[in-house]
Amino acid sequence: MIKQNEKKTNNHIDPHTTIALSSKIMNNVDIRKNVIIHDFVTVYPNVIIEESTEIFEGAVIGKPPSSIKVVSRPVSTGQKTIIGKGCIISPHVTIYSDVIIGEMTLIGDNASIREQCRIGSHCLIARNVAINYNTKIGDFTKIMDTSVITGNMVIGSHVFISLLVATTNDNEMGRSGYNEEKIRGPIIEDYACIGAGANLLPGVKIGKGAIVGAGSVVTKDVPAKKVVMGIPARIIRDVEEDKKQG
């Protein structure tokens, strides 16, 4: 059991912060000006929370991942977690250690962000979104409610991922253990849009500005600025000229 650090050595907490008494701030934490931390938040060691960020009830920041040998992938621990300026971390969010989030990003209720993720600035990660390990997300990207972002995935800037989207990284479905070289999530390039409930299979690339229709199962790469839909997803047409971005 982790006990609250009574000495609180090595912490740097700016005097212009508000931290609820019920929250638990561990050792080696840097909390900057005008940060607000509401009730029952836990901040683990090696966390930096930048200026004017607000963290709501029950959130957990910088949690080291646990490994009980049911997971074949080795887990990283002890790295810094940085929450950028002006972010909102909603109730019951869990952000693991070794995560960096840019400024003005909103993380919605119950979202979970695993270790080694990098999330850009001005992003919206909505309620119940799960982002697995080592995934990179650019700036101004929106991921809507209850979508699942797999490990080793790359998502560009200005991407829109609708609700209930599933992404995967292993066609072996764990039968061959964890092989870093082979476990690859999809790549979604800038300005692409993914419709509600779509499934993106391991390693597929969604080209810049492409649109994936709701409910599609994407089994192959999608060229830039094409609309695909169906199971398996097929190219239907080009993105309309007036709606092309990027």
Ligand X SMILES: CC(C)(COP(=O)(O)OP(=O)(O)OC[C@H]1O[C@@H](n2cnc3c(N)ncnc32)[C@H](O)[C@@H]1OP(=O)(O)O)[C@@H](O)C(=O)NCCC(=O)NCCS
Point out which residues bind ligand X (CB under 6 A): 144, 162-163, 195-196, 211, 213-215, 227, 229-230, 236
Q: Give the CB-nearest residue to ligand X.
A: 195
* Coil vs helix vs strand at 36: strand
Q: With respect to ligand X, which residue has the nearer C-beta, 122 or 226? A: 226
CB of 166 to ligand X, least distance (A): 13
Take residue 211 and report the two structure tokens written for it: 């649109």
Q: With respect to ligand X, which residue has the nearer C-beta, 119 or 192? A: 192
Query: Residue 55: what are its φ and ψ, rounded to 5°?
Result: -120, 120
Q: With respect to ligand X, which residue has the nearer C-beta, 162 or 168? A: 162
C-alpha to C-alpha distance for 50 and 30, rounded to whole angstroms: 8
Query: Residue 119: what are its φ and ψ, rounded to 5°?
Result: -120, 135
Q: With respect to ligand X, which residue has the nearer C-beta, 48 or 163? A: 163
CB of 193 to ligand X, least distance (A): 7
C-alpha to C-alpha distance for 112 and 229, rounded to whole angstroms: 29
CB of 147 to ligand X, least distance (A): 10
CB of 58 to ligand X, least distance (A): 26
CB of 216 to ligand X, least distance (A): 6
Q: With respect to ligand X, which residue has the nearer C-beta, 32 or 158? A: 158
Q: With respect to ligand X, which residue has the nearer C-beta, 99 or 212? A: 212
CB of 208 to ligand X, least distance (A): 16
Dihedral through CA 120, CA 124, CA 127, CA 131, nearest 10? -30
Angle at 174 between CA 186 and CA 63, to 5 degrees: 75
Query: Residue 243: what are its φ and ψ, rounded to 5°?
Result: -110, 5
Let me know how long the chain is: 246
C-alpha to C-alpha distance for 245 and 225, rounded to whole angstroms: 9
C-alpha to C-alpha distance for 169 and 186, rounded to whole angstroms: 7
